[in-house]
Structure 1
Amino acid sequence: MTSSASHPTRRQLLAGGVAAGLTAAASTVLGSAPAGAASPQAPARIRPFRAAIPRERVAEMRRRIAATRWPSRELVADRSQGVQLATAQALARFWTTGYDWRRCEDRLNALPQFTTEIDGVDIHFVHVRSPHRDALPLVMTHGWPGSIVELLETVGPLTNPTAHGGTAADAFHLVLPSLPGFGFSGKPTELGWDTARTARAWAELMRRLGYGRYVAQGGDVGAAVTDDIGRLAPAGLLAIHLNLLVPALAGTGGLPVNTDEERAAADALRTFSSSGKGYLVEQSTRPQTIGYALLDSPVALAAWMLDHDTDSYLKISRAFRDGRATGNLTREHVLDNISLYWLTGTGESAARAYWERTRTAGPATAPVTVPVAFSAFPGEIFQAPRSWAEASYPTLSYYHRPARGGHFAAWEQPLIFTRELRAAFRSVR
C-alpha cells in the first residue's frame, strides 16, 4: 500500500468533481421530475461528480505493472492452477503499452454523474434521463469483479431506444449506482453493509431522485442486491429482473433435479462449488488478507479479478492472448474495469462485501411479492431452468434463455441484454 501523498484521498477526488460544476446534461437530471414521479428532493443533497484521476497516479500504476515480480509458469496445460502466466503477461504488456485510462475517464465524464450521502456513505451514481417523457425509471446494479463499467454499453439503448432499434415505449430513465466500497463510491467505515442494507440505500436513492415508481435489475452481487430490493418491497417498486438465480447458490435443496436441463444446472453448480469459487471463499472469510495484494500490485489485482469463472476467464484470456474479443468484452473494456479498481484503491473494500453478506446470509424471510423477470444466459455459472426460477420466485412473470451471453451479460452482449430488459418490464409499464 502506498501513502496518501501519492494517492489522493477520495474526498480530494470528489472535490475535483464538484469543482467542475454542473454540465447541461446534469442540470437536466436534477431538473423537473419525469411523468409519474414524486416531487424531487432538494438538489443540494445530490452533488455533481467528475472523474479526475491525477496523472501521477496513472503513471504509478504503469510503474508498478512494469516492476511485477512474476511467478514461474504453471505446471499444467490448462487453467486448473489459476490464471495462466501467458495471459497475465499479455495483459501487463497491453496495460503498459496500449491502454489509455483517459479514454475510459472521458467516457464516464460524458455521462451525468453524481454523489449523495446515504446512511453515512457517499454513493456515486450515473443518472441518465431518457429523452422520452414516459420512460420507466430503472436502477441497475453491477457485481464483482465488475463495476458500472460493465453496464456502460447499455446506457444508449436503454435510455434512447429509438436510436437503437427500439420504440419510445421501451425507454428507461437509468440510474447506475456504484456499490459501497466500489469505484467512486465511499468505503464503509462500519460493519453492516450487506446487500440488504445496500437495497435500502437504493430505495432511498430512487426516492431522493423523485421516482415514485420504478423497476430494478442486477446480476452477480447486483442480483443479490436486487433480490433484497424485491423482498424489501419499497414504495414504488413495480418489478425486478435478474440474470443470476441467487437462491440456488445456497444449494439445490428444494429445487427439482429431474430433467436433463435441471441435472445440467445442478452439475454446473457442483463444478463451481468444487473448483470455481476460491475467490469467494477467501473474500467471504479473509478479505483483509487478500486486500494487501489487491492494493499493492496491479497485476495481482488483475489476476484475482480474472480468476472468476471458466466462461468469463476463457473469453478474457482469448481477448489478451490473441486479440479475439467476445462481443463487447474487449481488452480495453476489461482494463477499464480493472483500472477503476486500482486507481480508486477499492480492491479490499469491494472484497469485504462478500464477508458482510456471509455474516448475514440465511434463509429468506420475506417473499418477493412484485413480478420477477429472469434471463438465463447460456454462459452463466449455471443456466437456471424455468422450474428453478418458478420455485425460487412464485411471482415469476418472464423467463427467457437468450442465445448468447454469459456472467457479464450486459458487458458481453449489451444489445441482447437490452432486449431482455425491454421484454421483461413491458408488462408493468
Structure 2
Amino acid sequence: MQIEPFQIAVPEHDIDDLRQRIRATRWTPATPSPAWQQGVDSQWLRELAGYWAEHFDWRAAERRLNRQPQFVADVHGQRVHFVHRRGSGPAPYPLVITHGWPGSFFEFEALLDRLCDPAAFEGDAADAFDVIVPSLPGFAFSPAPAQAGMSAFQVADLWASLMHGLGYQRFGAQGGDLGAGVSIALAARHPQVVDGIHLNFLPGLYEPAIGAAQQALTPEEENFLRERNEWAALEGGYAHMHSTKPLTLAASLNDSPVGLAAWIGEKFRAWSDCQGDVERVFSKDELLTNISLYWYTQSIGPAMQMYWESRLQPMRFTCGQRVVPPVGFARFPKEINRPPRSWLERTFNVVQWTDMPGGGHFAAMEKPDLLAAEIRKFFKPLRR
C-alpha cells in the first residue's frame, strides 16, 4: 500500500470565488416566524455568512488543520485521506476513529490531544493511543468512490486494510454518526483483528432480530422506538432527502455556500447540547472550518451519497447473529437518539455503558475530556 504525506493547500482563487459567491447571495424572502422554528434562523445565517466572507481566515484554519500529521493512501483503488497521530506513551494502542455527517476529521482535534498524550491532561501515559482518523470516501480529501456500493460495510473493509498497511495487526475502533456504523461493521466483518469498539451513537438503520424466537420488546425499548419514529417524522427530513434524492439536493448545496452553511449549521445547533444557542458550544471559526472543508472539496454531494448506500444496505441482524468483539457505549443526553442498553445487547456484547452528564451528537467537540476518559477506560483491559 502506497502512503504519501499530505498538506492542505486551497488555491487562492477558490477563496476569492467563495467570498464573491457569499456577497452575491440572493436571500430568500420568508414569512415571519419564531427563530429556528422552520429551520435555520435567517438573522443568524446572515451574520455567519457575513463573517465567512469578510472576517474568516481560511489560511489560519488551514495552518491549524495542517498541524495534524496527514497522509493519503491508495487502498484497493480508493484514495483515502487520513490523520495518523502517534501516541506519546510507552506502548500506544492503535485506534481508528471515524467521523460522520455533517462532521469531518476536524471534529477530533481536541480528542486527539487527549488520547495521544493523556499525560498532558493529568492522565496516565500508559493509556496513550496511536490514533488514525480517515476521511470517509467522498468526504473532504478522500475522493468519491469510482463505483456505487460504498456503504459502511465496504468502508470497514477499507479501514481494515488501511490499518494492516500501517502495520497494526490488531486495533480498536470508535465512532459516532456514520462512523458508528463503520465501527460496527468493522467488528462484525473483522472480529479477528478488532479487539473492541466504542460508540457514542447507534445508527438509525441498526435493527436487531425481533420475532417469535427473541425476547419480546421491553417497555423501555417500545418507548425508544416510538420516540425514534416521532423524531424521524419531525426532524429526519434531511436523512430522507440524502437517502432518496441526494443528487437533487447536491446541485443546490454545491453551488451555494450560504445554502451549504444553512444545511450544516442548523444541524450543529439542533443536535448539540447548546441550549438553543449554537455559539455557546461552537465558535464561528470552528463551524466555518468544518463547512469550508465541505465547500472547498466539493464533497457535500458525495457525502450524502453514503446515505443512499446505507438505505440499500441497512444494518440488520438475523436471529442468533452476534457481534463478537466487546462494545462500549457512551449515551449523551442531547444525542438525536438514546437507545436503551437492552436494545444493543440483542446483538452486541456490551461491557461498558455510561450515561454521560452533558453533550450531544458532536461529542468529540462538545465534551472531549469526557469522551476521551470513556475511550481510555474501555480499551484499558483490551490493550495487548
The TM-score, its normalising length taken from structure 2, stands at: 0.92
Alpha-carbon shift at residue 348 of structure 1 (Å): 0.5
Would you say how many aligned residue pairs link Structure 1 and Structure 2? 377
- Whether the 8 Å CA contact 1:212–1:236 is kept in 2: the answer is yes
- Whether the 8 Å CA contact 1:65–1:92 is kept in 2: the answer is yes
Pairing 1:305–2:259 present: no
Matches within 5 A, 1:147-296: 147-246=104-203, 256-259=217-220, 265-296=224-255
Aligned to 1:384: 339
Distance 1:155 1:120 in 2: 28
Matches within 5 A, 1:10-409: 45-246=2-203, 256-259=217-220, 265-308=224-267, 311-312=270-271, 315=274, 318-319=277-278, 324-326=279-281, 329-361=282-314, 363-365=316-318, 367-393=322-348, 395-409=349-363
- Whether the 8 Å CA contact 1:247–1:392 is kept in 2: the answer is no
Distance 1:294 1:248 in 2: 25
Distance 1:212 1:98 in 2: 46
Alpha-carbon shift at residue 119 of structure 1 (Å): 2.5
Change (3 A) 1:75 1:274: farther
- Whether the 8 Å CA contact 1:47–1:115 is kept in 2: the answer is yes
Q: 1:397-423 CA deviation, whole Å, 9 max, x = no partner?
A: 110011111001001111111111111
Structure 2 counterpart of 1:77, one-letter code: P
Give me the identity figure in percent. 38
Q: 1:24-58 CA deviation, whole Å, 9 max, x = no partner?
A: xxxxxxxxxxxxxxxxx6xxx10110100011111
Structure 1 counterpart of 2:292, one-letter code: S
- Whether the 8 Å CA contact 1:183–1:341 is kept in 2: the answer is yes
- Whether the 8 Å CA contact 1:74–1:81 is kept in 2: the answer is no
For structure 1, the 5+ residue unaligned runs are 1-40
Tell me the SS of whatever aligns to 1:308: helix
- Whether the 8 Å CA contact 1:276–1:310 is kept in 2: the answer is no
- Whether the 8 Å CA contact 1:276–1:308 is kept in 2: the answer is no
Tell me the SS of whatever aligns to 1:356: helix
Tell me the SS of whatever aligns to 1:246: coil
Distance 1:396 1:289 in 2: 40
- Whether the 8 Å CA contact 1:233–1:368 is kept in 2: the answer is no
Q: 1:347-384 CA deviation, whole Å, 9 max, x = no partner?
A: 10111111111112252355310011111011101222
Alpha-carbon shift at residue 252 of structure 1 (Å): 11
Distance 2:84 2:275 in 1: 29
Alpha-carbon shift at residue 180 of structure 1 (Å): 0.2
Q: 1:234-293 CA deviation, whole Å, 9 max, x = no partner?
A: 53210001111226755996774424xx56644531332111111101110111111111
Alpha-carbon shift at residue 65 of structure 1 (Å): 1.1
For structure 2, the 5+ residue unaligned runs are none
Distance 2:31 2:272 in 1: 16
Distance 2:338 2:253 in 1: 31
